[in-house]
Structure 1
Amino acid sequence: MNLKIKISGLMLLSFSVVNAQKIDIAKAFKSAEKQTDILVRNVDSARKVKPNLVSPRTVEKGQFKMVISKDWTSGFFPAELWYFYQYTKDKKWLDLAKKYTEDIKKEQYNKGTHDLGFMIYCPFGNGYQLTQDTAYRSVIIQAAKSLSTRFNAKAGVLKSWDHNTDKWKYPVIIDNMMNLELLFESTKLTGDSSFYKIAVLHANTTMKNHFRPDYSSWHVIDYDTLTGNVRQKLTAQGYANESAWARGQAWALYGYTMCYRETKNKAYLAHADGIVNFILSSKVTPEDGIPYWDYNDPMIPNVSRDASAAAITASALYELAGYSKNNSKKYKAAADKILKSLSTKYVSKPGENYGFILEHSTGHRPAKSEIDVPINYADYYYLEALLRSNK
């Protein structure tokens, strides 16, 4: 009798723990919709004053900040609107998504940035998947052509930045893994394997040079394009050259999970597993699963969190759970935990933050920019994580 009571108690405890991480997707989306209605109104008001500003980026020091189309974050807002349409099938969101996606269109010809995956593929890729509009298909392909011009065969990577040539010669940042999806998709759309080959070469070179034995990542690798050798290993947005910048770890996880999806190369799956192990085994991450902005900041816990890193990680974990058979339950549970925290503790109060959904992200702490703020890519990957958790 006592044994039965103990077993029942354990079962109840186990059920309670599992239940504690359940996310009310419908409630989370409804709340996000209400916030985004406010955001759209603020965007429209701002554009009446400055029509060249196309997307909301953040709120900093109480100021609502919009960006022009060539900003690396310009595509996240229209891409979010497509996610609302995907979830609700409400024509309101379809019309808004089409309207704001069009504003980024000219960036398909931009050869001066590695971020065309963010800028173009997020909105136009989502739009194409949901509408099969051939105009979107054409934009995706042209953007891939533009991005491909930044590839150096000797180094085997796509160049990230053209600025600060006094610091580096051919910088490649871990964030660039996120832009490879544009190339993979363009091979599927055209049959032209050159896009695929560039993406694979970049992923392989990055896997070789960007990671430490514990699967933490350097932020910036500087290459010599004459020899293909690494010149130096640095950071731009992390605490120090040897530190693990939280959003960089999230980009890496998401990027190699996506590369496995597109290639079925088990080396990418194993690499993604290694990155997850680094993230989930961290002893400095708080109990709610939302990391500090850099895993090695000596001021922890008295530093800002990064909800954007958490949202990216959760979204990646939901996908990776479908590929990693041995760790599927573990990854899904970790994603649920993060998403539960974001949806209950990190959402803006109704009507606040000009309509941004999440609070407490960190953009560029070393530059004293966007510290503990709402930011558009946090909202985008949060919505994506909600959608993925719902499948």
Structure 2
Amino acid sequence: MPREVAAAAGRSGSSAAEVVAADLAGPSEAEDSAYYGLELTGAADADANSSAVSAAARASAAAAMATDVVNRFAAFGPMRLIAARVMEAAGAKARKTVEALTPDQYPMATQPSGEWEVVKAGHWMSGLFSGVLWQLYEHSGRKEQFWADKAQEWQAGLAGRQRESGSQHDFGFIYLPSFAHSYSVTGSPEDKRQALAAAEALSWAFVPGSKSLRSFDGWKTPSSTDAYQQIVIIDFMMNIQMLVWGARHVTSPALDLRMDPRPAETWLQMAKDHARQVAANHVRPDGTTYHIVEYNPNTGSVNKKYTYQGYSDSSTWARGQAWAICGFAMLHNATGDHDFLETARKLTDKYLELLSAQPAKAARAVKAAGGAAAVAAAAAPPAPPRDALVPQWDFDAPWHPEMDGPRDTSAAAVAALGMLYLAESEAAVGTAAAAGPQTIGPPAEAAAGEARPDSQASRGAAARYLDAAASTLRALAAPKYLAPAGGAGSFPALLKHGTGGFPLRNHVDVGLISGDYYLLAALNKCLTMPACVGHVGSA
């Protein structure tokens, strides 16, 4: 039955779309199509009892409807079943990946050949496939040991490399999805030691003069100045979560660390200082963000603000905005510092505002292009409103109709995770405010003396951000963006239409392991939140 789509798919090894199509082609198609909100068309319009309707015709009609069924199911179905369908596809793809690659090959982006482009240990994406495997293990209720075993195989090559990082310091991206997550499952002292070593190594990148972490050593972009410089990229709002994790898990004194006699206090303060500098210098007054801020590391003065992956120095790179949303929301969730909540709100409100303007921008571009693009657009069915929740790679870049933007599904996945954390914080703040004048601190300790916000406003904001997050997850679960499990030679990534570096024409309209990881992380986060599990989709 349709209500058991995910379970049936898991038992049979078929994709959810195939299970749905089988439902609709079966003898109870009238009941099943009513559940999905559909009316059978084509050959299936004939009397169900008519011998003129052959099994082949019924199967053909059902197959033709499968995409529409899954689209509607993504829009209106229960979030738990949507998550199960996505996890089913993710599991099928992960199994193929572990069969195709060796544990020293870390998938990064899809190639035209239908294979993964792989990177070596130490690349910022090298911990994310292990993270995908851990997310699958979590979704199994920690019962499918296969996923845990494979996650440990793929993280093994990352061990002991923290002090050999060279010029880059992406320890949060590498070690939080891998060894830190592994420790939460295994309680292994070695997993903990690896994760703490990453936090310690990241702390060495802190520059007292600028009160921030340097992102790279010796890296110059075409826009860099010739001045003495320290580069800070917006992406580092995610890396500082490694310091927060370390502060929570380290003991003092930490005999296995080389520095910091009081690491917990030091590391947490570094994360907060870095975030405050980002809020002051990366975040523009209107809530958009710069990709890169270049400091004088001695004085902390700003040399220049510019981009490397965005459209222009003054534009808003979508994934950069998403990194900021997620980073500030997670930091408030961990610390209770109200300043970080305010910044997360500002960033998210602007992100949603920019998304709301995207359909009109796309329509103008199609009309201006004319020709075949305009004819095709006129003939195509209207895109569902949730489609607008998947951003163009840069909100200020020209829209390319022939590339549907291009969009960046990885940015949408990161933003969805961030908005879930923000919704959780807003709900906790609203609950605490309603309870009385006590100090508020979701879910960690609150900043002393934090002003008590309005309870109703916080609860309303929580509902709005949660709806935006869940609706984004629904959009990503639709066939336009979610690659089918497929057979031999199928698309290896879970999400289609990711954009890595459009200005360099690098990884444009591809699958990105970062998109896959953050989508699964967001779905698992959603399933821990009753309001998200109970989310009702809209047209």
Is residue 182 of structure 1 aligned with residue 255 of structure 2? Answer: no
The answer to whether the Cα contact below 8 Å between 1:311 and 1:382 also exists between their aligned partners in 2 is yes
- The one-letter code sitting in structure 2 at the alignment partner of 1:360 is H
Residue in structure 2 matching 1:76, options 124, 128, 145: 128
Residue in structure 1 matching 2:288, options 216, 236, 242: 216
Matches for 1:224-239 after TM superposition, within 5 Å: 224-239=296-311
Distance 1:25 1:215 in 2: 31
The answer to whether the Cα contact below 8 Å between 2:234 and 2:290 also exists between their aligned partners in 1 is yes
Distance 1:148 1:104 in 2: 18
Is residue 42 of structure 1 aligned with residue 179 of structure 2? Answer: no
The answer to whether the Cα contact below 8 Å between 2:409 and 2:481 also exists between their aligned partners in 1 is yes
Give the 3 Å change call, closer, same or farther, for CA 32–104 of structure 1 in structure 2: same
Deviations 1:76-98 (A, max 9, x none): 00111111111112011111111
Residue in structure 1 matching 2:326, options 250, 254, 259: 254
Distance 2:490 2:333 in 1: 36
Give the drift of 1:312.
Answer: 0.5
The answer to whether the Cα contact below 8 Å between 2:110 and 2:492 also exists between their aligned partners in 1 is no
The aligned residue for residue 50 of structure 1 is none
Matches for 1:309-320 after TM superposition, within 5 Å: 309-320=411-422
Distance 1:353 1:369 in 2: 22
The aligned residue for residue 157 of structure 2 is 103
Percent of residue pairs identical: 30
TM-score, normalised to structure 2's length?
A: 0.66
The aligned residue for residue 106 of structure 2 is 55
The answer to whether the Cα contact below 8 Å between 2:74 and 2:475 also exists between their aligned partners in 1 is no
Is residue 372 of structure 1 aligned with residue 509 of structure 2? Answer: yes
The answer to whether the Cα contact below 8 Å between 1:317 and 1:331 also exists between their aligned partners in 2 is yes
Distance 1:71 1:376 in 2: 12
The aligned residue for residue 12 of structure 1 is none
The aligned residue for residue 268 of structure 2 is 196
Residue in structure 2 matching 1:285, options 339, 352, 358: 358
The answer to whether the Cα contact below 8 Å between 1:107 and 1:116 also exists between their aligned partners in 2 is no
Give the alignment's Cα RMSD to 1 decimal: 2.0
The aligned residue for residue 387 of structure 1 is 524
- The one-letter code sitting in structure 1 at the alignment partner of 2:399 is M
Distance 1:220 1:366 in 2: 15
Distance 2:214 2:298 in 1: 14
The answer to whether the Cα contact below 8 Å between 1:111 and 1:147 also exists between their aligned partners in 2 is no
Give the drift of 1:300.
Answer: 5.1
Secondary structure of residue in 1 paired with 2:241: helix
Give the drift of 1:22.
Answer: 4.1
Deviations 1:32-54 (A, max 9, x none): 1111111111113xx7xxxxx42
The aligned residue for residue 483 of structure 2 is 348
Secondary structure of residue in 2 paired with 1:363: strand
Give the drift of 1:337.
Answer: 1.2
The aligned residue for residue 11 of structure 1 is none
Distance 1:58 1:100 in 2: 17
Give the drift of 1:291.
Answer: 0.2
Is residue 298 of structure 1 aligned with residue 352 of structure 2? Answer: no
Secondary structure of residue in 1 paired with 2:155: helix
The aligned residue for residue 5 of structure 2 is none
Matches for 1:54-203 after TM superposition, within 5 Å: 54-62=105-113, 63-88=115-140, 89-112=143-166, 113-165=168-220, 167-168=224-225, 169-191=229-251, 192=263, 193-203=265-275
- The one-letter code sitting in structure 2 at the alignment partner of 1:337 is S
The answer to whether the Cα contact below 8 Å between 2:74 and 2:474 also exists between their aligned partners in 1 is no
Secondary structure of residue in 2 paired with 1:78: helix
Between 283-292 and 151-160, report the one with greater CA deviation: 283-292
- The one-letter code sitting in structure 2 at the alignment partner of 1:338 is T
Give the drift of 1:110.
Answer: 3.3
Distance 1:18 1:374 in 2: 20
Aligned pairs, number: 370
Can you give the 5+ residue segments of structure 2 that lack an aligned partner in the other structure? 1-71, 252-262, 360-384, 427-458, 529-539
- Give 1 or 2 for the bigger CA radius of gyration: 2
Is residue 331 of structure 1 aligned with residue 465 of structure 2? Answer: yes
Deviations 1:299-343 (A, max 9, x none): 355531000000001111112111113311111111111111111
Deviations 1:15-37 (A, max 9, x none): x9997274322222112111111
- The one-letter code sitting in structure 2 at the alignment partner of 1:104 is L
Give the 3 Å change call, closer, same or farther, for CA 83–18 of structure 1 in structure 2: closer
Q: Which runs of 4+ in 1 moved over 4 A?
A: 16-19
Deviations 1:91-129 (A, max 9, x none): 111111111111111322234322110011221111111
- The one-letter code sitting in structure 1 at the alignment partner of 2:98 is V
The aligned residue for residue 39 of structure 2 is none
The answer to whether the Cα contact below 8 Å between 2:420 and 2:469 also exists between their aligned partners in 1 is yes
Distance 2:77 2:292 in 1: 36
